[in-house]
A = this chain, B = another copy of it.
């Protein structure tokens, strides 16, 4: 994990809503996963997986996600959320997230496992080649370099 947003190829900007704070007076813990989701959707669009889901029925399923909270977030603030793919498996890939607060700097980090699922065949599917190529493009990998490490599915 790194604290520099320039290491994350897809970045979204999200204003904190007052109503996202809970009775402790800071942004509620579950809202961070909404921020992650917003960044993840943008990445998946850019990796072409949303189009592929519409075309051939192979799409993403969130299998696991985590968040580590560093400092509280308060309204008003503007967040920059970076996301990237760290590893690609046969039928899944891993993503990292970083949330940077305009007021307080790095505020939280997270990660997730996205499984590629064939909604028609009702089973796990290989990560489509076009998606792997798009991820490598987003991550700035020289062709054939495998700068996104592949790993076996467990």
Stretch of A19-27, A88-96, A125-133, A143-151 lying at the B interface = A19-27
Please report the total number of A residues contacting B with Cβ < 8 Å. 28
Name the CB-closest residue of B to A33.
B30
List chain B residues, Cβ under 8 A from A23.
Answer: 18, 21-23, 25, 75
Name the CB-closest residue of B to A31.
B30
Mostly, the A contact residues are mixed
Name the CB-closest residue of B to A72.
B61
Given contacts A33-B33, A63-B68, A68-B63, A28 and B38 within 8 Å (CB-CB): no
Copies per complex? Answer: 4
A41 is an interface residue with CB less than 8 A from chain B: yes
Check if A15 sits within 8 Å of B14, measured CB to CB.
yes
A67 is an interface residue with CB less than 8 A from chain B: yes
- Compute how far the CA of A100 lies from the CA of B38 in the bound complex, rounded to whole angstroms: 21
Known: A21-B23, A64-B67. 13 other contacts (CB 8 A): A14-B15, A17-B34, A17-B37, A18-B23, A19-B38, A21-B22, A23-B25, A23-B75, A30-B30, A30-B33, A30-B34, A33-B33, A61-B69
Ranked nearest first, the 9 interchain pairs of A and B with the lowest CB-CB distance are A66-B66, A21-B23, A30-B33, A18-B41, A64-B68, A19-B37, A23-B25, A30-B30, A17-B38
